Amino acid sequence: MSTCDLCVVRNRAICSALDSDEIKALSAMGRKRDLSAGESLIWEGEDSVLVANVVDGVLKLSTNTEDGREQIVGVVYPSDFIGRPFGGTTGHGVTALTDSRVCVFSRRDFDNFAAEHPGLERKLLQRTLAELDRTRRWMLLLGRLSASEKVASFLLEMSERLVEPGCATDEPGAKRAFVLPFSRQQIADVLGLTIETVSRQFTRLRNAGVIDLPSRREVVIRDPDALSAEAG
């Protein structure tokens, strides 16, 4: 049995568009790679030489301003696809926020394979359009929402992506528990807020009974409806 048959994201990643023989052919081109938290996989400004499926963990997409400040421009989770197929220069770096595992392919080999498998190309297009929709929502979040709406929206997004599909906490209206891959400072950087503002909003939501904070990184959404209302 190939490792793809045992892959936990097999039915959610882009390779779900392939049949068993096609999966074997794609698997022969790739390799698993483990990343420690803080380890980079792709560097901003370099030629696109690899692409990857995220199998486990959470990674950040980031770019740097001229004065050296980092801006996190996206986050990828298990089953997400990273890298730039079909050539070009990588517009952002990719770094593991948590210990992660990815399935890595040579970009050139992947391009050739995708060109011969329309189902995979269609899946890539669907992922690209979904990413575009998320980017547009993120622009609204950063540009128009208040601090309280930003933090609430951020927590909802985290809960939707970090809670495993099908588990008890994934039921509508149920409490959702997860571990944030971000520090408070990183959350502030992502949302365009100060760390003090982020901390105040977390404390306010906890005091209101909307969330619980068992530890610095653990979050329990006790009242999803109230948090959705907070997000506007």
Average pLDDT, the chain: 86
Dist CA 56 CA 61 (whole Å) = 16
Question: DSSP 3-state assignment of 190?
Answer: helix
The model's confidence at residue 168, banded by pLDDT at 50, 70 and 90, is very low
pTM of the model: 0.77
Over 90: is that where the pLDDT of 219 sits?
yes
Predicted pLDDT at 194: 92
Q: Do residue 104 and residue 165 come from a single domain?
A: no
CB 81, CB 30: distance < 8 Å:
no
Q: Do residue 180 and residue 202 come from a single domain?
A: yes
Percent of the chain with pLDDT over 70: 93
Residues of the domain holding 163 = 146-230
Can you tell me the mean pLDDT for 125-153?
Answer: 82
The one-letter code for the residue type at 190 is V
DSSP 188: H
Q: Do residue 154 and residue 44 come from a single domain?
A: no
Over 70: is that where the pLDDT of 173 sits?
no
Instruction: Select from 44, 121, 28, 45 the least CA-distant residue to 81.
Output: 121
Count of domains forming the chain? 2
Percent of the chain with pLDDT over 90: 37
Q: Do residue 127 and residue 154 come from a single domain?
A: no
List, for residues 96-127, the tens digit of each pLDDT value. 988 999 999 999 999 999 888 888 888 888 88
SS3 letters for 32-66?
Answer: EEEECCCCEEECCCCECCEEEEEEECCEEEEEECC
Element (H, E) at 202: helix 195-207
CB 218, CB 171: distance < 8 Å:
no
